């Protein structure tokens, strides 16, 4: 942050509609006390961060030219220092004597090779508190165990959407990029080309974005999805399916049984209730051991057919082959290290 009094500024005005996020140089000058959101769509605000009037924040961009939210950097903000602030809260300014620059990160974008859209997929959803029992040092787990990710403590989170068979990975990805696909270098992988609404929703639904999981999922699996809408369609499809599960009897069952031991049969029965008899037989319940406890950690949901915005998830599940469950019973872990 920089105090307004130390800057020589040129104010800028935005006009004209567009669709895509626009990078901006300079600063955002807060004129009011406003919420600084992690997700402008969900209006999540870890740490209850607000702007300080007459303070300059490094500008990142605007959700679209002429848009209604600036993305700014708020030093010290938990979970992410990249926050969304209403454009009506202040003004965009640049230093008069500083030339504009464009900053890029990672290794650029990757255009996947053409192919028929995947019609055989595995939706993998995580119970984040269980995942974080065994990986407490990861950024998203420090955030969750610190009470900063309330959504992830009461709903299933996205791991990924994996075209099948399992060998169908890294489609058209050169070896130079594949060699970077390990957790320590996910941040330098080509970022998926997604719009701001998709990125915004993903930050809540996929806590692993704090460790750049979205880059890994796109490079390894998304490049084989071959949707006409590219990365944006790939992530929109998994977000839509995840919302359907979380808003159903399945999501209610998980939220109501935190701390309890449940059976795979119980979980599968909730799928039958929500999406039709027999859909539960397409769900593989995964567990992990944590000392003397057995924790439900993931659901692997088999889907067959092209995923479209109006498709019934039950139709996709019933078209897939039945599967066995790797785990028969486990605890739905509460947040925090047990």
CATH code, domain with 177: 3.90.730.10
The token pair that represents 282 in the structure block: 């397409």
Q: Clarify whether residues 62 and 209 are in a common domain.
A: no
Question: What's the whole-number mean pLDDT along residues 63-82?
Answer: 91
Residue 102 lies in a domain: no
Residue 105: inside a domain: no
pLDDT value, residue 17: 34
**Is residue 131 located within the same domain as residue 88?**
no
Name the strand (E) or helix (H) holding 155.
none
Residue 106 domain-assigned (yes or no) = no
State how far the Cα of 265 lies from the Cα of 166, in Å rounded to an integer.
25
- The dihedral formed by the CA atoms of 301, 307, 309 and 310, expressed in degrees to the nearest 10: -80
CA-to-CA dists, residue 12 to 9, 24, 80, 92, 322, angstroms: 10, 11, 26, 6, 58
Mean pLDDT, all residues of the chain: 89
6 and 61 belong to one structural domain: yes
**Nearest CA among 289, 268, 275 for reference residue 317:** 275
Instruction: List, for residues 251-282, the tens digit of each pLDDT value.
Output: 999 999 999 999 999 999 999 999 999 999 99
pLDDT at position 101, please? 33
State the Cα–Cα distance between residues 23 and 60, nearest whole angstrom.
6
> Is the four-CA dihedral 219, 223, 229, 234 of positive or negative sign?
negative
Please report whether residue 108 resides in a domain.
Answer: no
Running DSSP on this structure, what letter comes out for residue 265? Answer: H
Percent of the chain with pLDDT over 70: 90
Question: Integer distance in angstroms from the first to the last C-alpha of the chain?
Answer: 38
Q: 191 and 52, same structural domain?
A: no
**What are the angstrom distances between the C-alpha of 9 and each of 1, 6, 58, 107, 199?**
15, 10, 13, 33, 31
Whether 113 is in a domain gets the answer no
Specify if 114 maps to a domain.
Answer: no
Alpha helix locations (H) across 28-164? Answer: 128-134, 139-145
Which residues, at least 6 apart from 6, have a Cβ–Cβ distance to it below 8 Å? none
The percent of residues above 90 in pLDDT, for the chain, comes to 77
Number of domains in the chain: 2
And the tokens for 206? 């996929």
Note the pLDDT of residue 1.
46
Whether residue 76 is found in the same domain as residue 146: no
236 and 307 in a single domain? The answer is yes
The last residue of one of the domains, among 78, 95, 112, is 95
- The three-class DSSP label of residue 242 is helix
Residue 264 sits in the same domain as residue 192: yes
Same domain, 180 and 323: yes
Q: What is the pLDDT of residue 291?
A: 82
Q: What is the mean pLDDT of residues 165-176?
A: 94
Q: How many CB atoms lie within 10 A of CB 201?
A: 22
State the pLDDT at residue 259: 97
| Range scoring the smallest mean pLDDT among 25-34, 206-215, 296-305 | 25-34
Give the per-residue pLDDT at 95: 57
Q: In terms of domains, do 91 and 129 share one?
A: no
Domain boundary among 95, 110, 130: 95
Same domain for 175 and 310, yes or no, is yes
pLDDT at 106 over 70: no
Give the model's pLDDT for residue 258.
97
Q: Return the pLDDT at 50.
A: 95
Say if residue 292 is in the same domain as residue 193. yes
300 lies in a domain?
yes
168-182 as b/e: b if 16+ CB within 10 A:
bbbbebeeebeebbe
Give the domain extent around 312.
120-331
For the stretch 177-186, pLDDT in tens is: 999 999 999 9
Residue 69 is assigned to a structural domain of this protein: yes
Tell me: the pLDDT tens digits for 192-233?
999 999 999 999 999 999 999 999 999 999 999 999 999 999
Q: Check whether residue 19 and residue 61 sit in a common domain.
A: yes
């Amino acid at each position: 942050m920089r105090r307004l009094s130390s800057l020589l500024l040129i104010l800028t005005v935005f006009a004209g509609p567009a669709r895509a996020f626009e990078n901006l140089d300079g600063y955002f000058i807060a004129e009011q006390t406003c919420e600084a959101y992690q997700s402008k769509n969900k209006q999540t605000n870890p740490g209850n961060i607000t702007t300080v009037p007459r303070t300059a924040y490094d500008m990142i961009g605007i959700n679209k030219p002429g848009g209604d939210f600036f993305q700014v950097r708020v030093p010290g903000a938990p979970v992410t220092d990249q926050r969304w602030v209403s454009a009506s809260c202040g003004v965009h300014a640049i230093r008069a004597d500083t030339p504009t620059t464009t900053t890029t990160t990672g290794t650029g974008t990757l255009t996947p090779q053409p192919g028929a859209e995947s019609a055989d997929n595995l939706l993998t959803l995580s119970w984040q508190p269980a995942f974080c029992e065994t990986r407490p040092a990861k950024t998203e787990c420090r955030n969750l165990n610190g009470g900063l990710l309330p959504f992830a403590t009461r709903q299933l989170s996205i791991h990924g959407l994996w075209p099948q068979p399992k060998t169908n990975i890294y489609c058209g990805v050169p070896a130079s990029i594949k060699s970077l696909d390990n957790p320590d270098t996910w941040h330098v992988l080509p970022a998926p080309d997604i719009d701001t609404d998709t990125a915004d929703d993903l930050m809540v639904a996929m806590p692993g974005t704090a460790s750049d999981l979205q880059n890994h999922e796109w490079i390894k699996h998304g490049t084989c999805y071959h949707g006409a809408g590219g990365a944006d369609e790939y992530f929109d499809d998994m977000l839509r399916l995840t919302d359907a599960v979380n808003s159903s009897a399945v999501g209610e069952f998980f939220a109501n049984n935190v701390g309890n031991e449940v059976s795979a049969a119980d979980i599968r029965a909730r799928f039958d209730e929500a999406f039709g008899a027999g859909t539960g037989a397409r769900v593989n319940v995964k567990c992990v051991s944590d000392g003397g406890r057995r924790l439900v950690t993931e659901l692997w949901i088999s889907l067959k057919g092209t995923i479209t915005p109006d498709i019934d998830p039950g139709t996709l599940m019933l078209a897939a082959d039945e599967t066995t469950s790797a785990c028969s019973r486990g605890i739905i872990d509460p947040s925090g290290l047990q």
